[in-house]
């Protein structure tokens, strides 16, 4: 190897672009050992060949150029050990954060697949749920007030300070009061005045700590169906089907219905691909 390496030779030997070497020169990270005053050609020393190798290694494990520059300034063994130990601690923290993200996304994907698979053969299924804990907004939301609906979910997200990422959770929902059910049973039409109906918005906080008072959805059997889109009219069609099914097959409804976002608009910009699941707590009639 020659005692001096041109910028082209250094680029080929270390497999970095000439543009990268010029950038390193510009920011003072790796300046050429010698610049010919007549031609302006840049030349690097053999020692700089090794320094560039160190830069590449540090870049490969995620070091910023600023950190690398700090590392290469006035080095000695003790300082390098401290720097690398601190960097190891930072990397371990990032690994834990990525593991948490991986865990959340894995749960989210599993939930979506289970939701879709449960309705492969029918649009009405009976599921068992363990007890679920939730926070609800104090003020109910009118069915035709979409602005309050969106702001309500935003308020719930802020209440738990982003602990449950919207993209990675099927935690948001609303409560549909049991007192409406008889009225829906008695009509085949969709009500004209949706403003007369209200829901209570909530967010499930299973496994999350919260400073707010919580309530519980009781464990047990729920008769379930789903609807697409964000409009209440579609929800009412499926809700009436569930009520009719309960009447036909002798299931006793024991509480309010809940509607859970299973696939929300953070995953699609097509509203018809957003899925809500309606869940009604039931018991079978004792004959």
Are 19 and 154 in the same domain? no
Which has more confidence, 228 or 168?
228
Which has more confidence, 51 or 264?
51
Report residue 40's pLDDT band, with 50, 70 and 90 as the boundaries. Answer: confident
Domain boundary residue, one of 38, 73, 108: 73
Are 58 and 15 in the same domain? yes
Distances (CA, A) of 88 to 63, 68, 99, 139, 160: 11, 14, 16, 48, 31
C-beta of residue 172 within 8 angstroms of C-beta of residue 260 = yes
Which has more confidence, 197 or 125?
125
Task: Name the strand (E) or helix (H) holding 25.
Answer: helix 18-26
Are 247 and 148 in the same domain? yes
Would you say the pTM of this structure is higher than 0.85? Answer: no
Q: What is the mean pLDDT of residues 75-91?
A: 82
Closest of 26, 33, 29 to residue 5, by C-alpha: 33
Our count of domains for the chain comes to: 3
Quote the pLDDT of residue 1. 43
Are 81 and 53 in the same domain? no
Are 83 and 53 in the same domain? no
Closest of 236, 222, 225 to residue 284, by C-alpha: 222
Are 138 and 265 in the same domain? yes
Quote the pLDDT of residue 24. 94
Q: Which residues contact 122 (CB under 8 A, 6 or more apart)?
A: none
Cα distance between the two ends of the chain:
94
Report residue 287's pLDDT band, with 50, 70 and 90 as the boundaries. Answer: low
Q: What is the mean pLDDT of residues 81-96?
A: 86
Reduce the DSSP state of residue 6 to 3 states and report it: strand
- Measured CA to CA, the distance from residue 106 to residue 168 in angstroms comes to 9
Report residue 238's pLDDT band, with 50, 70 and 90 as the boundaries. Answer: very high
Are 69 and 88 in the same domain? no
Are 125 and 114 in the same domain? no
- Measured CA to CA, the distance from residue 169 to residue 153 in angstroms comes to 13
Domain boundary residue, one of 73, 101, 129: 73
- Measured CA to CA, the distance from residue 168 to residue 281 in angstroms comes to 26
Are 98 and 220 in the same domain? no
Q: Which CATH number belongs to the domain containing residue 53 in this structure?
A: 1.10.1660.10
DSSP strand E in the chain: where?
4-6, 34-35, 42-45, 125-129, 132-136, 141-142, 172-176, 198-204, 215-217, 220-228, 251-253, 257-263, 275-284
- Domain boundaries, position 93: 76-118
pLDDT in tens, 124-156: 999 999 999 999 988 888 887 778 877 888 888
Q: Tell me which residue has tokens 């599993």.
A: 110
Are 233 and 256 in the same domain? yes
- Measured CA to CA, the distance from residue 112 to residue 174 in angstroms comes to 19
Are 83 and 51 in the same domain? no
Task: Name the strand (E) or helix (H) holding 112.
Answer: helix 77-118
- Measured CA to CA, the distance from residue 5 to residue 46 in angstroms comes to 7
* pLDDT at residue 248 greater than cutoff 60: yes
- Strands 198-204 and 141-142, bridge-based pairing: antiparallel
Which has more confidence, 265 or 224?
224
Mean pLDDT across the chain: 85
Quote the pLDDT of residue 168. 47
Quote the pLDDT of residue 171. 83
pLDDT in tens, 223-235: 999 998 777 788 8
- Measured CA to CA, the distance from residue 17 to residue 25 in angstroms comes to 13
Closest of 200, 195, 190 to residue 227, by C-alpha: 190
Are 135 and 89 in the same domain? no
Per-residue DSSP letter, 258: E
Domain boundary residue, one of 48, 73, 98: 73
Quote the pLDDT of residue 211. 74
């Amino acid at each position: 190897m020659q005692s001096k390496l041109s910028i082209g030779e250094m680029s080929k030997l270390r497999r970095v672009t000439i543009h990268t070497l010029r950038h390193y020169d510009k920011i003072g990270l790796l300046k050429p050992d010698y610049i010919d005053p007549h031609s302006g050609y840049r030349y690097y020393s053999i020692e700089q060949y090794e320094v560039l190798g160190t830069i590449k290694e540090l870049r490969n494990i995620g070091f910023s150029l600023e950190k690398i520059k700090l590392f290469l300034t006035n080095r000695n063994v003790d300082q390098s050990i401290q720097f690398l130990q601190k960097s190891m601690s930072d990397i371990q923290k990032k690994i834990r954060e990525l593991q948490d993200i991986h865990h959340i996304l894995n749960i989210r994907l599993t939930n979506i697949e289970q939701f879709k698979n449960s309705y492969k053969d029918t649009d009405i299924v009976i599921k068992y749920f363990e007890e679920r804990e939730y926070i609800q907004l104090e003020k109910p939301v009118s069915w035709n007030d979409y602005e309050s609906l969106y702001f309500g979910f935003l308020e719930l997200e802020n209440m738990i300070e982003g602990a449950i990422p919207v993209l990675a959770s099927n935690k948001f929902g609303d409560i549909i009061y049991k007192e409406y059910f008889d009225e829906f049973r008695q009509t085949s039409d969709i009500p004209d005045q949706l403003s007369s109906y209200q829901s209570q918005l909530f967010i499930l906080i299973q496994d999350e700590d919260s400073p707010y008072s919580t309530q519980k959805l009781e464990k047990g059997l729920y008769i379930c169906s789903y609807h697409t889109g964000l409009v209440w009219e579609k929800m009412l069609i499926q809700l009436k089907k569930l009520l009719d099914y309960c009447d036909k097959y002798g299931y006793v409804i024991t509480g309010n219905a809940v509607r859970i976002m299973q696939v929300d608009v953070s995953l699609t910009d097509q509203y018809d691909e957003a899925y809500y699941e309606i869940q009604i707590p039931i018991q079978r009639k004792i004959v």
